[in-house]
Amino acid sequence: AQSVAQPEDQVNVAEGNPLTVKCTYSVSGNPYLFWYVQYPNRGLQFLLKYITGDNLVKGSYGFEAEFNKSQTSFHLKKPSALVSDSALYFCAVRSGNNRLAFGKGNQVVVIP
């Protein structure tokens, strides 16, 4: 069964600094990889996905993620963090079935 690991509970970053949220996955077969963001008291919003093709995927709000097959990673990145990026970020993986496995989430805190 597929699984996702997000090793850090919380990521603190100063506004304007680069932001990285780590994600590694385990799946049999080709992975479909996703990042979702959850703002306070709201549902999840889709940020970006990797299905096939270019390993660097660009998504909403200036975020991007790099698929690394050898390291089984899909880290989320943003070159310059904003205070409004403070939220809970979830990595997810799906492989060939209807189930989407989520990581436990990372709380990102952007400090002004």
Residue 22 found at the interface with other proteins (CB under 8 A): no
Closest contact distance (angstroms) between CB of 70 and other proteins is 23
CA-nearest of 97, 89, 75, 105 to 38 is: 89
Residue 61 found at the interface with other proteins (CB under 8 A): no
Nearer to other proteins, 47 or 110 (CB): 47
**At which residue do the structure tokens 């889709």 appear?**
46
Question: Which of the residues 82 through 111 are near other proteins (CB under 8 A)?
Answer: 90, 92, 94, 98-105
Question: Cα(first)–Cα(last) distance of the chain, in Å?
Answer: 40
Distance CA 30, CA 4 (A): 14
Residue 45 found at the interface with other proteins (CB under 8 A): yes
Residue 74 found at the interface with other proteins (CB under 8 A): no
Nearer to other proteins, 43 or 53 (CB): 43
| Residue from 22, 44, 64, 82 binding other proteins (CB under 8 A) | 44
Question: Torsion over CA of 75, 33, 62 and 110, rounded to 10 degrees?
Answer: -50
